Amino acid sequence: MLKPGAISGFPEWLPAQRLKELEVLDTIRRVYELHGYASLETAAVERVEVLQTKGVEGKEIYALERLAAESGADKRELALHFDLTVPLARYVAQNYPQLSFPYKRYQIQKVWRGERPAQGRFREFYQADIDVISEDTLALHFDAEMAAIIAEIFQRLGIQVRIRINNRKVLLGFYRALGLEGEQVVSALREVDKLEKVGPEVVARTLGEQGLSPKQVERCLALAQVRGMDGCRDVTCGLNEAQLQEGLAELEFVAAQLAHLGQTLEVDLGIVRGLDYYTGSIYEAVLPDYPALGSVCSGGRYENLASEFIKRKLPGVGISIGVSRLLSYLFSKGGWNPTRSSPTEVLVVLPGEEHRGAANEIARQLRAANVPAEVFHEPSKLDKQIRYADRKEIPHVIFPYLWPAQVEVKALATGHQVTLGLQDWLTGREKVPA
C-alpha cells in the first residue's frame, strides 16, 4: 500500500480553506472585470526558448519529458511557465492582429518554479495578474487605475492594505542630476533597495565604496526616505533634470487621481523594484496588520512588452498579486480561519422514503431560487441527518412534513425554527441574507 503524502512546495487546502481561496479568487476576478479587463488563460506550457527570453536567471524551470520516452528523447523543448508575463508577451505577439488595443487583460493561473521550498515560497502557486497593453503610447490613466483596482480588491476582502507608489523616472533622473552615470546609477539603486533590510549605515558605506561622494550618499538616502508628494518636491527642489521632472509630473498625476484613497496610498520614493524592467510608475503593497508578510503585490509600467517576439512598441502597466502566499500566511496566522466546508445553505431532511418526492421538489425550488440545497441521501434518524448538517456547517435544515402548504425551517446556529410557505421563506431571506 502506497502512503499518500504532501509534496513539499505544492500546497493543497482542506475543503473549508479551498472555499476561502475560491472567494478570494472570485473577488479579485470580479474587481478586474468591473474595470473592463478580460480574462486570458494561456497554456501552462511554453517552449523553453520562449521562457528563456526573460528573467530566467534564478528561476528554476520545470521542463517536461514524457515518462514513456527515453531519457533525453524529448530534448526538454517544453516547460511549465514560471510567471504570467512571458506568456502574455508571447500571446500578444502571436495574436497581435486579432487583439484590440489597449488590450486589457487579467490572468489568474498557477505558475511553477523548481526552487527549494521554504516558508511562503512554493513550487506551485497562484498569481493574479492584471495588465493593459497599448501600441506606441499608453495613457497615464492606467497607472492610476492599477492602484485603484488593488485598493478595491483588498477593501472587498476586508483587509487593510497600504499601496506604495513611486516612479522609476524620478529615481533615475534624480541620480543623474546628482552626477551619477550609467552603471553607477544601477548599482547605487540596487544598494538603496536594501535600505529597509540592512539600514542606512550599511547602505551609506557601500555607496561610498562605489565611489559616491558623502554629499551624493546623503542625498540618495534622503530621497529614499521621502513619503508623500510634498516631500518629493522638497527633496528635488532646484534639480532641473528632464527625466526627473517628467517622473514627478507622472507621480503627481497618479497621486491626484488617487487622492480619494487617503491612507491606503502612499507616495514612497524608497521603493525600487525590478531594475531592468520597469520604466515609469512602480507599485508595491503591504498589509499593515501583517508586516512580516512583506509585499503582497507589486508591479509597474514597462516600455515594451514583447520586443523579443514582435517589431512593435507595446508599452504596458500591470500588477501581480501573490495569492497563494497571501492565503497561506493568513491561514497560518489565524487571519482567516474558515470552517464551512460545503456550499450548501439548506439540507432538506428525508424522514422516510414516502417524503422523497416532497424533499426533491423543495430542493428543486431552492436551487431555482439560487440557494444551494441538498436532500439527505437516505431515509434515516433525524439526529443523524442534523449531525451531518452540523459537521458541514450547513446553516439551515428544512423538514418536509407539511409540504406543499408549508415547510419547517430550522437555523442550526440558533436553534430558531419557523413554519411558513417555502416561497415566503425565500422572499424574507432575500431581504435579510443568512
Site for a second copy in 39-58 (CB under 8 A): 39-50, 53
Q: Is 94 in the site for a second copy (CB under 8 A)?
A: yes
- Least CB distance from residue 395 to a second copy, whole Å? 12
- Least CB distance from residue 102 to a second copy, whole Å? 6
Contact call for residues 88 and 105 (beta carbons, < 8 A): yes
Contact call for residues 90 and 281 (beta carbons, < 8 A): no
In the complex with a second copy, the residue whose CB is nearer, 97 or 182, is: 97
- Least CB distance from residue 277 to a second copy, whole Å? 18
C-alpha cell at 185: 546609477
- The single residue among 84, 88, 93, 161 that binds a second copy, judged by CB under 8 A, is 93
Q: With H, G, I as helix, E, B as strand and everything else as coil, classify residue 375.
A: strand
Contact call for residues 108 and 128 (beta carbons, < 8 A): yes
In the complex with a second copy, the residue whose CB is nearer, 343 or 404, is: 343
From the list 175-183, 270-278, 373-381, 412-420, the region that binds a second copy by CB under 8 A is: 373-381
Q: With H, G, I as helix, E, B as strand and everything else as coil, classify residue 362.
A: helix
The interaxial angle of helices 141-157 and 242-257, nearest 10 deg, is: 40
Contact call for residues 11 and 324 (beta carbons, < 8 A): yes
Q: Is 408 in the site for a second copy (CB under 8 A)?
A: no
Q: What are phi and psi of 158, to 5 degrees?
A: 75, 30
Placement of cell 460545503 in the chain:
342
In the complex with a second copy, the residue whose CB is nearer, 286 or 359, is: 359
Contact call for residues 172 and 243 (beta carbons, < 8 A): yes
- Give the total of residues touching a second copy (CB under 8 A): 95
| Identity of the residue numbered 405 | A
- Least CB distance from residue 153 to a second copy, whole Å? 12
Q: How far apart are CA 358 and CA 348, in angstroms?
A: 10
- Least CB distance from residue 304 to a second copy, whole Å? 13
DSSP designation for 26: H
Q: Which of residues 3-32 bind a second copy (CB under 8 A)?
A: 3-7, 10-15, 18-19, 21-22
Surface-to-core class of residue 363, CB atoms within 10 Å of its CB (0-12 exposed, 13-18 middle, 19+ buried): buried
In the complex with a second copy, the residue whose CB is nearer, 51 or 203, is: 51
Pick from 133, 176, 77, 130: nearest CA to 312: 133
Q: Is 110 in the site for a second copy (CB under 8 A)?
A: yes
In the complex with a second copy, the residue whose CB is nearer, 99 or 235, is: 99
Count of other CB atoms within 10 angstroms of residue 94: 15
- Least CB distance from residue 296 to a second copy, whole Å? 21
Instruction: Write the DSSP string, 186-243.
Output: HHHHHHHTTHHHH-HHHHHHHHHHTT--HHHHHHHHHHHT-BSHHHHHHHTTT---HH
- The single residue among 24, 27, 28, 80 that binds a second copy, judged by CB under 8 A, is 80
- Least CB distance from residue 394 to a second copy, whole Å? 8
In the complex with a second copy, the residue whose CB is nearer, 131 or 284, is: 131
Q: Which of residues 126-185 bind a second copy (CB under 8 A)?
A: 139, 141-142
Q: Which of residues 273-312 bind a second copy (CB under 8 A)?
A: 306, 308-311
In the complex with a second copy, the residue whose CB is nearer, 221 or 369, is: 369
Distances (CA, A) of 348 to 75, 123, 415: 57, 42, 16
- The single residue among 370, 381, 415, 416 that binds a second copy, judged by CB under 8 A, is 370
Q: Is 395 in the site for a second copy (CB under 8 A)?
A: no
In the complex with a second copy, the residue whose CB is nearer, 219 or 325, is: 325
Question: Which alpha helices (H) appear in 369-407, and where do they start and end?
Answer: 382-391
Q: What are phi and psi of 324, to 5 degrees?
A: -65, -40
Q: Which of residues 331-360 bind a second copy (CB under 8 A)?
A: 341-344, 360
Q: Is 81 in the site for a second copy (CB under 8 A)?
A: no
C-alpha cell at 335: 487571519
In the complex with a second copy, the residue whose CB is nearer, 28 or 272, is: 28
In the complex with a second copy, the residue whose CB is nearer, 76 or 215, is: 76
Count of other CB atoms within 10 angstroms of residue 352: 9
x-or-dash string of contact with a second copy, 244-263, rule CB under 8 A: -------------x------
In the complex with a second copy, the residue whose CB is nearer, 1 or 432, is: 1
- Least CB distance from residue 5 to a second copy, whole Å? 6
From the list 72-80, 156-164, 295-303, 404-412, the region that binds a second copy by CB under 8 A is: 72-80
